[in-house]
Amino acid sequence: MILVTGGAGFIGANFVLDWLEQGGETVINLDALTYAGNRRNLASLAGDERHIFVHGDIGDFALVSDLLARYRPRAIVNFAAESHVDRSIHGPEDFIQTNIVGTFRMLEAVRAYWHNLQDDAKQNFRFLHVSTDEVYGSLGKDAPAFTETHRYEPNSPYSASKAASDHLVRAYHHTYGVPVLTTNCSNNYGPYHFPEKLIPLMIVNALAGKSLPVYGDGQQVRDWLYVKDHCSAIRRVLEAGKPGEIYNVGGWNEKPNIDIVHTVCALLDELCARSDNKSYREQITYVTDRPGHDRRYAIDAGKIERELGWKPAETFDSGIRKTVQWYLQNREWVADVQSGSYREWVEKNYTGRAL
């Protein structure tokens, strides 16, 4: 068995679905079901005995210890986190609690479990920590992309909390010998992406006839990877990564935000034209910038390609088309996640932001 945390969120759910589709062993899925966790993401697994869902917190030492003792997983993949930069600006506390304290408590449970494993089980055990390129900070326009040895310079409460968790994971390897692996990935996009992040927000706002809020000048650069390629990278690192090593994961797909928004509009114009036949671009509105907004992220994925032979399967063109199609075909999912607290978040983040 493997234990996955945060498997009801965007990347975690895609990972669990892909893992089981590829014939992987049973998954114990530990998720606190915060606003970002959604059991609907896993609806296709109803009745599948290879998926055991546990509603709980990674920071609950007793629960995690109990799950480890009961199921004896050979590996853990840790996705659980607070993940949205804008929310971390409005309220950093939850980020400190889950990303730092939660990771620490889980590592304590894992350390005790791993310590008592015998021979092969001890040697083969892996704790894979899923992290982000944002821990490296912001790049200048022509600076080389982030390698695994780039200095940590996190700028938001989100990235600072992820950086702290990366350091704890590293320390548990160096001090206690726990066989850890860390992946630092660039921005993901694809199915089940919560519509608070750029790409799904633009799709759902466009279709609802709402404005498409572009922060600042829209020239900030992100490096986009289709979520299923991130999942395949994690599977590969779990299979062949060297304990203690870090692997940067990215798709060599740097794009300014405004280009992303234009691409989404063009695809919607083609696949679901507005009733007045004008372009969705008409809905773009420039709004007040995010405080401390990182200008550019870019991943050098050379190490994982060279050492583990991993490469993304999708280009940005193929991945973004699949993504827009998925949102067009899953309007009920969108309506479901937009109920309740989602509306309060949109109010909080966007009201008063118009220029």
C-alpha distance from residue 249 to each of 79, 90, 147, 180, 305 (Å) = 15, 28, 10, 16, 9
Chain residues 134-193 in contact with ligand NAD, contact rule CB under 6 A: 162, 185, 187-188
Q: Which is nearer to ligand TYD, 12 or 179 (CB)?
A: 12
- 80 and 5 in contact (C-beta within 8 Å)? yes
Rounded CA-CA distance 87/253 in Å is 25
**Distance set, CA 279 to CA 15, 265, 274, 283, 326 (Å):** 35, 7, 7, 8, 20
**Is 134 among the catalytic positions?**
yes
Verify whether residue 259 is a known catalytic residue. Answer: no
Between 127 and 194, name the residue whose CB sits nearer to ligand NAD: 194
Residue pair 48/16 in contact by the 8 Å Cβ criterion: no
**Chain center to CA of 326:** 18
Each residue 142-181 as x (binds ligand TYD by CB under 6 A) or -, in order, gives ----------------------------------------
| Cα dist from 327 to 93, 264, 284, whole Å | 32, 11, 19
- DSSP structure class, residue 127: E
Could you tell me the two tokens for 123? Answer: 């040697």
**Residue 290 CB, nearest approach to ligand TYD (Å):** 6
Residues 260 to 299 in contact with ligand TYD, rule: CB under 6 A: 290
Q: Which of 16, 178 has the CB closer to ligand NAD?
A: 16
Residue closer to ligand NAD by CB (options 6, 283) is 6
Question: Is residue 85 within the footprint of ligand TYD (CB under 6 A)?
Answer: yes
Please say if 158 is a catalytic residue.
yes
**3-class secondary-structure state, position 185:** strand
Task: Show Cβ contacts of residue 270 under 8 Å, excluding neighbours closer than 6 positions.
Answer: none
CB of 187 to ligand TYD, least distance (A): 5
Q: Which amino acid is residue 27, in one-letter code?
A: V
- Kindly name the residue from 136, 158, 189, 297 that is annotated as catalytic: 158
**Helix, strand, coil content of the chain in percent (nearest 5):** 50, 15, 35
Comparing CB distances to ligand TYD, the nearer of 146 and 172 is: 146
Work out which of 32, 67, 214, 337 binds ligand TYD, going by CB under 6 A: 214
Tell the smallest beta-carbon distance from residue 258 to ligand TYD (Å): 8
Contact with ligand TYD (CB under 6 A) among 187, 248, 253, 323: 187
Please report whether residue 230 would count as binding ligand TYD according to CB under 6 A: no
User: What positions carry a catalytic annotation?
Assistant: 133-134, 158
| Binding stretches for ligand TYD (CB under 6 A) | 85, 187, 197-198, 201, 213-215, 220, 222, 257, 290
| Binding stretches for ligand NAD (CB under 6 A) | 5-6, 8-12, 30-34, 36-37, 57-59, 79-81, 83, 98, 102, 130-132, 162, 185, 187-188, 194
